[in-house]
Amino acid sequence: MTTYAFAAALFALGIGGMALLPNLLRKLLAMNVMQVAVIVFFVSLAFKDGATVPILGEGGTPQAADFMNPLPHTLMLTAIVVAVSSTGLALGLLVRIRSRFETLNERRLLDRLR
């Protein structure tokens, strides 16, 4: 439960940062915090008491109770890399915004767009 609450706290922090921070770069960092929250949540769902990492050791037929759930790990593995590339794409957009409007501040941007 503590882990779930930690994920919830990170998620609220990330969403809050995206909504409240004025600078677009900080909004992007807050979005990353939110993505990490989702990853923590999924990985903690995979945890099983008394189980080990989902890599088969020597000998014996594997029992489901002995290994953690590999599916959330797989999903988050890809999610991490997708988060990295979406951050890269967002940084590209920020470079263009900064070059065209000379600012990354949300309110000043809105003024210039008017």
Partner 1 sequence: MGSTPPRPAGGERAPRLRRVLGAAAFPALFLGLVVGMTELPEFGDPASPASTHLSPRFIEEGAAETGAANMVTAVLADYRGYDTLGEAAVIFAAGLGCLVILASGGARRDLPVAGMSNRFGSIVLDAATRTLVPVVLLFAVYVLIHGHYSPGGGFQGGVLFGSGLIMMRLVWGPADASPRPGSDVPTFGLSLRGSLVLASVGILAYVGIGLAAMAFGGEFLNYGTLPLGSDPAHVRELATLGIEAAVFLTVGGTVSLLFDTISIGMRENGVPLGSERGPRE
Binding site for partner 1 (CB under 8 A): 1-5, 8-9, 11-13, 15-16, 19-20, 22-23, 44-51, 53-57, 61-67, 69-74, 77-78, 80-82, 84-86, 88-89, 91-93, 95-96, 98-100, 103-105, 107-108, 111
| Residue 10 contacts residue 34 (beta carbons within 8 Å) | yes
Closest CB to partner 1 among residues 29, 104 = 104
Q: What backbone torsions phi and psi does residue 102 show, to the nearest 5 degrees?
A: 65, 15
Which has the closest alpha carbon to 64: 76, 56, 72, 74?
56
Give the contacts of 86 (CB within 8 A, at least 6 positions apart). Answer: none
Closest CB to partner 1 among residues 15, 36 = 15
Cβ 86 to partner 1, closest distance in Å? 6
